């Protein structure tokens, strides 16, 4: 039998998460999330998720619903990303810049794949293939970006109770890395005699990676890192985080 909650805020959140799962009017959900988000703590989110799990929801679905709640509430209240609110040398400013760089490469990737789709043949010495190889190198360099997030920043957020959001982001990282590795192998083993098959596969990877990575970066820029700025309210901690991140390196800097 499922468990009930006595905490009014956690109970209200649980009810809202259920409404989100039921697919109610997005405008109403956004308004309700905006009204509730200022009252909710990480502990309330944990309790609401556990209540859903106790009543038959999977842990993954419960986490996804709470992430959607935070997204709805924040979108109703703000339009700016964190980059307009932090110093230029802050580690999150650098991460935000990396996101912008990746968005540029995603746009170039889409355009290039469309152009390749119109070709009848392509050699590994062609301009299109050289451009593709360059873009893939930058995507592959995201390993450092992901490593810094998971090994340096997320542990501090987890200490403040935001385990679910970090877990959701890490789950995205798994699929993003798989897609990038598939792309690296596809380009690395290119055979001009199998160009038709290559076009089909590169189109498939492009659609998945562009959609998944764009949504992931949006959620980090508008949900995860604004929360990080609030909960890690210590300049010395951020300085320590930046020092470790400097040692790891930054995405695309040494390509």
Q: What is the pLDDT of residues 148-187, one digit of tens each?
A: 899 888 998 888 877 877 888 899 999 999 999 999 999 9
Q: What is the pLDDT of residues 19-56, one digit of tens each?
A: 888 877 767 887 888 888 888 888 888 899 999 999 99
* Percent of the chain's residues with pLDDT above 70: 90
Total number of residues shown for the chain: 255
> What is the spatial distance between Cα 119 and Cα 143, in angstroms, rounded to a whole number?
31
pLDDT above 60: residue 5: no
The single residue listed with the structure tokens 């700025």 is 229
The single residue listed with the structure tokens 């995205």 is 172
**For the CA atoms of 147, 149, 153, 157, what is the dihedral angle to 10 degrees?**
-130
Q: What is the pLDDT of residues 66-86, one digit of tens each?
A: 877 877 776 555 545 555 667
Q: Quick check: pTM over 0.85?
A: no
The answer to whether 66 touches 17, Cβ cutoff 8 Å, is yes
The single residue listed with the structure tokens 């309330």 is 44
């Amino acid at each position: 039998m499922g468990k009930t909650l006595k905490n009014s805020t956690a109970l209200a959140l649980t009810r809202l998460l259920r409404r989100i799962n039921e697919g109610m009017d997005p405008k109403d959900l956004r308004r309700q999330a905006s009204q509730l988000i200022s009252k909710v703590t990480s502990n309330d989110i944990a309790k609401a998720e556990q209540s859903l799990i106790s009543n038959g929801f999977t842990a993954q679905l419960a986490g996804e619903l709470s992430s959607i709640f935070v997204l709805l509430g924040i979108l109703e209240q703000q339009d700016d990303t964190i980059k307009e609110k932090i110093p230029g040398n802050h580690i999150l400013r650098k991460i935000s810049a990396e996101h912008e760089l990746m968005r540029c490469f995603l746009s170039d990737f889409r355009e290039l794949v469309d152009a390749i789709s119109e070709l009848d043949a392509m050699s590994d010495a062609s301009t299109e293939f050289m451009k593709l190889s360059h873009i893939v190198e930058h995507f592959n360099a995201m390993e450092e970006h992901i490593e810094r997030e998971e090994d340096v920043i997320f542990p501090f957020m987890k200490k403040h109770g935001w385990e679910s959001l970090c877990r959701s982001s890490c789950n995205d990282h798994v699929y993003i890395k798989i897609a990038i590795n598939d792309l690296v192998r596809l380009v690395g083993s290119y055979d001009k005699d199998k160009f038709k098959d290559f076009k089909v596969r590169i189109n498939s990877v492009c659609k998945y990676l562009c959609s998944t990575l764009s949504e992931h970066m949006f959620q980090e820029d508008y949900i995860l890192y604004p929360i990080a700025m609030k909960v890690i309210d210590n300049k010395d901690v951020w300085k320590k985080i930046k020092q470790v991140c400097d040692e790891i390196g930054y995405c695309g800097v040494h390509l």
